[in-house]
Structure 1
Amino acid sequence: MKQLSKAALLGIITLTLSACGSSGDSNSAGDAALDNTPPTWTKGVFEEASQFKNRCENPRIGQDLNGDDYADQAGSTLHEMHWLRAWSNNTYLWYDEIVDQDISLFADPISYFGTLRTTATTDSGAYRDQFHYTQDTAEYEQLRSGGASASYGAHFKLLEASPPRLARVAYVEPNSPAERAGLRRGTEIVMIDGESFEDSSDIDTLNGGLYPEENGETHTFVVQHVGETNTRTINLTSQVVTTAPVQNTRIIETDDGKVGYLTFNTFGNITAESALIDAFTTLEEERVSDLVIDLRYNGGGYLAISAQLAYMVAGNTLTDGKTFERTVFNDKHPAINPVTGKAISNYPFVNESLGFSVSAGQPLPSVNLNRVFILSSGSTCSASESLINGLRGIDVDVVLIGDTTCGKPYGFYSTDNCGTTYSTIQFRGENDKGFGDYADGFSPENVSTTVGERIIGCQVADDLLTPLGEENEAMLKAALDYRVDGSCPPVSVIRVAQRNSSQKNDLRNDPRIIERELKQRIWLDNLRAGAK
């Protein structure tokens, strides 16, 4: 099959680990005497972004986390807004749908940036661009360099965010405080630090306990395990938790062959490479005839690992010479990546280790299947959707069991200017057939709504009362039944808490939760961009 050269593979790793904050603009302002004349706006006339890059109202002094001097120079908010205007006109995927407004009408760069986006909607009525962010650069760099935050190792699923609230544990990380305290899938949260989870108005206490901000925080929980009538009181202390990307690898014996199953929770950890290799080595040795990959909680991460996983599913014959994902920028940049300055090339299915957590150049195992079952939810996003789309592009039958995926065929390179990191959609991914139009996600064909790109499969609710990987867990059972006769269970009600901005007791209205979700999304999105 077509392979990347060793130099190209090393380039992928370098980009993935370091290019996420690349600006894509040269800083020509430092090469000549500064012109302090305030820039003026002329409708429809755009200058080079480099003329305004790093010209700041409040220039930073000192060094960043990498020890590099800040490039900031004296400027104004007008310079900062003119840079945003020129940068967006050059790199934004739908630059021609931005309404070019007089910059003097805006008080600051962040409010102006909010207008530099399309207002077009998808077939569902949702905004096509739901991924337009700003973040303080110091905070962003801290997140990017650390990659870890305080946690108990319990992943909570909020089923009802407003009274009467309901939250259960979706899964726990091995060897984590949550596992040591006995939390397991389905455990219901009853009280946190003396406050009733169901109806307390003290959302600060509830969210402070659910989502600790610092290591070493201790909070008291009253919980109730599935199948028990009594509650238990436990103390949880937060720490940096090591994520296990792959869990529950198992072989299911059936009358007509072996079915492999694995829970895969993130592409965003470099250990996913070695974990997947170990899992697929087992699956290959067992000669499985079908495969179920559980991506219901996988929000994405490294595109390179998604391309490896696709190869491990389909093998050499189906992937030889095919494109896993091609990157499409706006029509100003058909051949050259406007951020990196490098030629745009198709991203292949990757058939060897890349050096994330296994020495580079080792052949990958594969189960060589032309069908795969994917368990999905609204949290199945980005690189997870690239896996679905990439496999469909080479005619692998992807059977979707669960709910509509998040709808993220887009990506960006977050870019700093004057202490703020801006994220704006700059490309979309397409498969070998040129398809990448799934802004409303992928939906099982029997889904009750009309949104999403429909593909074969069944809509099934997340069965939080049954351990992941057990054959009677609703999604896995539906996959096993479908492979026998193509049937689906009755459509079930999907319970996911939606943010209600008018409800003051809605836990998801807490700014800390909004910020936490935003940081996680930006982190994973930039890992995806780095593999381009």
Structure 2
Amino acid sequence: MRWISVAVVVALISCGGGGGGGGGDPAPECSVSGKNQFVYEVMKDSYLWYDSVPDVDYTVYSSPDQLLDVLRYPLDHWSYIESKAAFDQYYEEGRYLGMGFSLKFDASQNLWVAFVFEDSPAAVFGFERTDQIISINDRPVSEFHDMTAVWNELYRYTSADILKRADDHTVQTITIAYDNVNIDTVLHKEIFTVGTTNVGYLVFESFIEQSSSELDTVFAEFKAANIEELILDLRYNGGGRMSVAQHLAGLIGGSVTEHGVFQEYRHNENYSDYDDTLLFTNPPNSLGLDVVYVLSTGDTCSASESIINGLNPFIDVILIGDTTCGKPVGMYVKEICDMVLLPIQFRNLNAHGTTDYFDGFSPIHSVDDDLRNAFGDPDEDMLEMALYHIEHGGFPPVITHATPFRKSDVRRKNELHGLRREIGAF
């Protein structure tokens, strides 16, 4: 049984989900057993690591999610199942049900607001990046050992009581309920002048349907301002549609990268007929840069890493921040009645054949995410390092600060899973 259709390949989507449906896949029977059978047969057939999937009795599992947990290959931290309604709402409509802010732990177990979507419940109540969260529903942050625990508390009721401390040290308790949140994939844009050089700064949060038009607007402004250097802030970008990544890469490289190989896709040996190549384009208002600065953290994942990997053979990619998440693989969307299954089904390669970067891309200069300063603040540590390098052609001496947690521990605490990880916000 072959589970990939041409229609799905054309809708090829990322290393972070999104895109076409089941194509020519047989329609599953919608009982638990029927859904489990569908998941099992896909994983045994077109899953990238199909030959490592264990033989199990799928009928004994109480849900497709429980079954998928048993079938995943050890390297696979990403295959997931989600409701079709929530998935389509995010990727097609750019919305989700939530509060509209992202939270991050720092190395000392403090919890901070990392960003806020405009017009969301969180924005209406005045939450901002640099706000520190003290407690949730009268439980101090010290009781929450990872982001899943934070999630469970925030969504325990239809609203949550959040005690926060603002940048001006004022403290207040806010009761916030979740609602439909419209996503701004461009979180911040700004133009700096460094000496005589015009520098564009873009904070980009996700690769979804609306993102291409948002990017076109920003790059038209950059082009009109004669941008000579670009700082692309992908620190919270968990991925999305590869077609949007291809578009962004073309806007950066323009004529420098045009017609070059952006990404190649390699499936398991049973589906090599579906291997494909995605080329760079040269969209209007492309910048034609031969260097780009990318700001990254462990949340920089999937399609974001494809930007780094795809551009690397053609231009200088100067990575500043922390090691990226390490997802050199992608998935297709399979409909299961009222659910969708996203199994890993292909590897990503760049023009030099670089793949298997499961340990992520390491920065040329390590800098912690500076949650105490706003996007665009020249004193924000990651942005400051990029601006410094543009001005001086190198980095300042590294000063090492002892922290109570290793960075890997901080990354683990900040992880969510599935669609919520791709959204990157509550």
TM-score (norm 1): 0.67
Question: How far, CA to CA, are the matches of 2:347 and 2:144 in structure 1?
Answer: 43
1:233 to partner: Cα distance: 2.8
- The 8 Å contact of residues 18 and 241 in structure 2, kept in 1 or not, is answered as no
- The 8 Å contact of residues 233 and 296 in structure 2, kept in 1 or not, is answered as yes
- Number of the residue aligned with 1:519: 419
**Any unmatched runs of 5+ in structure 2?**
1-5
Question: How far, CA to CA, are the matches of 1:158 and 1:18 in structure 2?
Answer: 28
1:486 to partner: Cα distance: 1.9
1:348 to partner: Cα distance: 1.8
Is 1:369 the counterpart of 2:309? The answer is no
Question: How far, CA to CA, are the matches of 2:342 and 2:117 in structure 1?
Answer: 30
Question: How far, CA to CA, are the matches of 1:14 and 1:443 in structure 2?
Answer: 27
Is 1:351 the counterpart of 2:256? The answer is no
Q: Spell out the pairing of 1:38-187 with structure 2 (5 A cutoff).
A: 54=28, 59-60=30-31, 86-98=41-53, 101=55, 103=56, 107-108=60-61, 110=64, 113-118=68-73, 127-133=74-80, 135=81, 140-147=83-90, 148-159=95-106, 165-187=109-131
Is 1:490 the counterpart of 2:399? The answer is yes
- The 8 Å contact of residues 117 and 129 in structure 1, kept in 2 or not, is answered as yes
1:397 to partner: Cα distance: 0.6
Distance 1:327 1:491, change over 3 A: farther
- The 8 Å contact of residues 186 and 202 in structure 2, kept in 1 or not, is answered as yes
- The 8 Å contact of residues 263 and 279 in structure 2, kept in 1 or not, is answered as yes
Give the letter for the 1:315 counterpart. Answer: G
2:259 is matched with which residue: 321, 326, 331? Answer: 321
Question: How far, CA to CA, are the matches of 1:204 and 1:104 in structure 2?
Answer: 30
Distance 1:166 1:372, change over 3 A: same
Q: Spell out the pairing of 1:208-227 with structure 2 (5 A cutoff).
A: 210-211=154-155, 217-227=158-168
1:365 to partner: Cα distance: 0.8
Secondary structure in 1 matching 2:83: helix
What is the number of residues matched between the two proteins?
403
Distance 1:385 1:24, change over 3 A: farther
Distance 1:227 1:94, change over 3 A: same
Question: How far, CA to CA, are the matches of 1:248 and 1:220 in structure 2?
Answer: 28
Distance 1:330 1:289, change over 3 A: same
**Greater relative contact order (Cα 8 A, min sep 6): structure 1 or 2?**
2
Question: How far, CA to CA, are the matches of 1:470 and 1:416 in structure 2?
Answer: 44
Distance 1:196 1:523, change over 3 A: closer
Distance 1:311 1:190, change over 3 A: same
Question: How far, CA to CA, are the matches of 1:373 and 1:410 in structure 2?
Answer: 23
Deviations 1:128-175 (A, max 9, x none): 222243x3xxx5212123223332322111337xxx952111111223
Secondary structure in 2 matching 1:380: coil
Please identify, of 203-212 and 477-486, the stretch whose mean Cα deviation from structure 2 is larger. 203-212
Secondary structure in 2 matching 1:477: helix
- Number of the residue aligned with 1:250: 190
1:467 to partner: Cα distance: 0.8
Question: How far, CA to CA, are the matches of 1:409 and 1:24 in structure 2?
Answer: 26
Deviations 1:238-263 (A, max 9, x none): 32122211132111111241111111
1:236 to partner: Cα distance: 2.4
- The 8 Å contact of residues 264 and 298 in structure 1, kept in 2 or not, is answered as yes
Question: How far, CA to CA, are the matches of 1:442 and 1:461 in structure 2?
Answer: 15
Deviations 1:369-426 (A, max 9, x none): 1100000001111111111111113x21111111111111111224345777543321
Secondary structure in 2 matching 1:346: strand
Q: Spell out the pairing of 1:226-237 with structure 2 (5 A cutoff).
A: 226-228=167-169, 230-237=170-177
Question: How far, CA to CA, are the matches of 1:15 and 1:190 in structure 2?
Answer: 38
Please identify, of 398-407 and 414-423, the stretch whose mean Cα deviation from structure 2 is larger. 414-423
- Number of the residue aligned with 1:331: 269
- The 8 Å contact of residues 12 and 242 in structure 2, kept in 1 or not, is answered as no
Deviations 1:188-213 (A, max 9, x none): 11233333333489x99964563477
Is 1:402 the counterpart of 2:321? The answer is yes
Percent of aligned positions with the same letter in both sequences? 29
- RMSD of Structure 2 on Structure 1 (CA): 3.6
Secondary structure in 2 matching 1:234: strand
1:521 to partner: Cα distance: 4.3
1:86 to partner: Cα distance: 4.8
Distance 1:190 1:81, change over 3 A: closer
**Any unmatched runs of 5+ in structure 1?**
1-7, 28-53, 61-75, 119-126, 338-343, 353-363, 445-456, 501-507, 525-532
Question: How far, CA to CA, are the matches of 2:53 and 2:24 in structure 1?
Answer: 20
